[in-house]
Structure 1
Amino acid sequence: MAGHSKWANTKHRKAAQDAKRGKVFTKLIRELTVAARQGGGDPDANPRLRAAVDKALGANMTKDTVQRAIDRGAGDTENDNVEELTYEGYGPEGVAILVECMTDNRNRTASDVRHAFSKFGGNLGTANSVAFLFSQQGRIGFASDSDEEQLLELALEAGAEDVEEGDDGEHIVVTSPAAFGAVRDAFDTAGLEPEFSEVGKYPANYTPITDIELATRVVKLIDWLEELDDVQNVYTNADFSDDVLEALA
């Protein structure tokens, strides 16, 4: 076991909120379609698509809906005008924020994202102003009472990079994006069901936030960004303390 990883704060709050808003399926379908268009419709040969499929099925999307989205992307007949954009910026007190978008109107998206940063005391940065702080990884999480030795053995044999301990003692398997599918398959074959699995952007270091007023401003900015139709993912290096999380709940 190595390291210590903050993973739950924003990601799981985001998943719950998106489900309530009814937006999660729209964003998942968009990701499935674009991933299939760019890398082909076979999840076994397309790591990005495999991660998107796992995420969609984990959100209770039906297999038929998943396959239709893949077929639409692999057919290369729709969404050719959709482009992927990444915006980088700083929230209140310099918290790093990375915003991944898919859009058919670059000007609209840029305006919406810029407005969000300005509204909540942040500002957009230039290319690679914060992106260098984040790396793309696959992460597969298991409960704290899982068999640590079994997880470590399976993970390393399947090509994972490490197994880390989370804040509440959970075990987090870290992989490269390319190895994510093979590692997840190894756990599936062994009958081990993770609490979460995803490919995302993770910061090497986090900015501790213990002030409730500051945390509220950061959360409002993230929420506003996530509400935007063109935004797929929002990543931050903000690390909210337990007291702050309780106050925000």
Structure 2
Amino acid sequence: MISVAVVDAETPGNVGTIARSMKNFGLSELLLVDPPELDPDGEAYGFAGQAREDILPNAREVPFDHLAENYHTVACTATTNEDASNHVRYPAKTPAELADSLRGVESDTCVVFGRERVGLTNDELARLDELCSIPASADYPVLNLGQAATIVLYELRELTVERDQHPEELHARADERAVEGLHGEFERFLAASGHPEGKRPKTRRLFRRLLGRAHPTGRETRTLRGVFRKARQRIERAESAESAESRDG
């Protein structure tokens, strides 16, 4: 299970925004260390969307020690450009790398976000197990707390969102028979459209390379095959009608 903790948030609105992101990406346990007042009629609930119904009302206020003592902890901090000489803030994983490293971890994990202006202190970071940092422009690497949480939780979605909400068929590459069927239909389209015969092999190779890079899904393959088939059939009907008119004339 992955939980989220917010340490000493300054504005209720950011707590609400984080709760909303948790709802978006399948997390439910929100832990608050030294939180601001969360008025049910205030901005926290106003920013939380549907998370106002369950995540915010069930958020638990805990001391910082509770996080370190009960969870595998991940500290989220701004990009620091530090190297191994600063072991408190180095090394840091990106959110995508964090998702890979947590895959298969059986212990409860808590992703910890710090204060809006100063983040987590060095003393707090020293007590947490891993670091996560979002790569950003060197000119302005610090993100808004709510934005940072949304990016991190989005990258963790593979671990927190039920797979049946995103059927594999929608994302998986089409099987080779379907892809070859599309290539066959494209070849027939080239012939029907009058594409120069000497250029057809090169054009077919270009199309094959394009599909090879694109990894089309089953739905995409069926749709493209249908487009080429209908275009070919329309060309063939037009040519048949023209031929008939020529004979009658």
TM-score (norm 2): 0.24
More strand by share: 1
Higher relative contact order, structure no. (Cα contacts within 8 Å, ≥ 6 residues apart): 1
TM-score (norm 1): 0.24
* Rg larger for: 2
